[in-house]
């Protein structure tokens, strides 16, 4: 399984607050069957720039790498680096955002703000893909459906040149709808969006079990293939 969205890097955002927590999150993910995990720290353009973000991300990786070397017996997934970019007006001409893509893939994970979606925002996200020669992925669409109480959001993305990521919790809390969308190939990536080992802990295993029991495991294979076919090289820790 691939976890496409997580916050396990230590001390870079509101995710893991220590190297120990990061190791626990990685090991727990591995235990649940995750074999590749994208680190997607938050990127907020109004308080950060890509260059300093990348420096902080590298620093966090270096700390984690050191701890992994000491704990070589610990089983953990392979790790690739990415970002969760908060949408901002003007992002479609921010060429420097390309450096924040997911591993060596052209996928750019974009998080809309938690307010009703305007068409102009979706237009600009599509334009970002075109201008930056990347493929926008809308982060945790299910979370907006739940928090904005808007069941139409998936339909609004249907004819747009963007892909969708949902959280593993979608399968746990709204499994019928999640499985339907998975079978219609309208869910392109799944992530835990894990932040810690408490209330936002790794949970890909529970989602995988629901998908497997429903006989839909082949769709997880499709997701893996979508990622592996575009991964040129692994940026492992
Ligand atoms: Fe996130």
C-alpha 98 – ligand 1 centre gap (Å): 19
C-alpha 23 – ligand 1 centre gap (Å): 18
C-alpha 54 – ligand 1 centre gap (Å): 17
pLDDT digits (tens, 9 = 90+) for 94-105: 999 999 999 999
C-alpha 201 – ligand 1 centre gap (Å): 12
Per-residue model confidence (pLDDT) at position 2: 96
Q: What percent of the chain has pLDDT over 70?
A: 97
Least confident range from 54-63, 108-117, 166-175, 225-234: namely: 225-234
C-alpha 6 – ligand 1 centre gap (Å): 6
pLDDT digits (tens, 9 = 90+) for 47-57: 999 999 999 99
Superfamily name and number for 2-228: Metal-dependent hydrolases (3.20.20.140)
pLDDT of 167 above 70: yes
Per-residue model confidence (pLDDT) at position 233: 53
How far is 197 from 24, CA to CA, in rounded Å? 7
Confidence band for 232, pLDDT divided at 50, 70 and 90: low
Confidence band for 230, pLDDT divided at 50, 70 and 90: confident
Q: Can you give the pTM of this predicted structure?
A: 0.95
Q: Which residues surround ligand 1, an ion (CB under 5 A)?
A: 84, 193
Per-residue model confidence (pLDDT) at position 229: 87
DSSP symbols for 94-122: -GGGGGGSSTTSSEEEEE--SSPPPHHHH
Residue for token pair 């802990």: 201
């Amino acid at each position: 399984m691939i976890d496409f969205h997580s916050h396990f890097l230590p001390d870079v955002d509101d995710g893991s607050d220590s190297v120990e927590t990061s190791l626990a999150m990685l090991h727990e993910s591995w235990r649940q069957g995750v074999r590749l995990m994208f680190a997607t720290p938050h990127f907020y353009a109004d308080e950060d720039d890509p260059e300093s973000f990348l420096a902080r991300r590298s620093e966090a990786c270096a700390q984690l790498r050191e701890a992994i070397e000491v704990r070589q017996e610990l089983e953990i997934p392979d790790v690739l680096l990415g970002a969760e970019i908060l949408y901002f007006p003007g992002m479609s001409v921010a060429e420097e955002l390309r450096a924040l893509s997911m591993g060596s893939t052209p996928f750019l994970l974009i998080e809309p703000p938690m307010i009703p979606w305007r068409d102009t925002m979706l237009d600009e996200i599509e334009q970002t893909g075109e201008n930056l020669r990347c493929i926008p992925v809308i982060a945790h669409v299910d979370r907006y459906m739940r928090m904005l109480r808007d069941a139409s959001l998936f339909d609004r993305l249907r004819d747009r040149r963007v892909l969708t990521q949902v959280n593993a919790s979608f399968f746990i809390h709204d499994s019928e709808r999640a499985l339907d969308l998975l079978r219609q190939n309208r869910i392109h990536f799944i992530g835990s969006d894990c932040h810690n080992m408490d209330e936002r802990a790794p949970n890909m295993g529970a989602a995988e079990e629901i998908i497997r029991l429903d006989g839909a495991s082949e769709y997880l294979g499709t997701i893996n293939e979508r990622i592996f076919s575009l991964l040129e090289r692994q940026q492992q820790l």
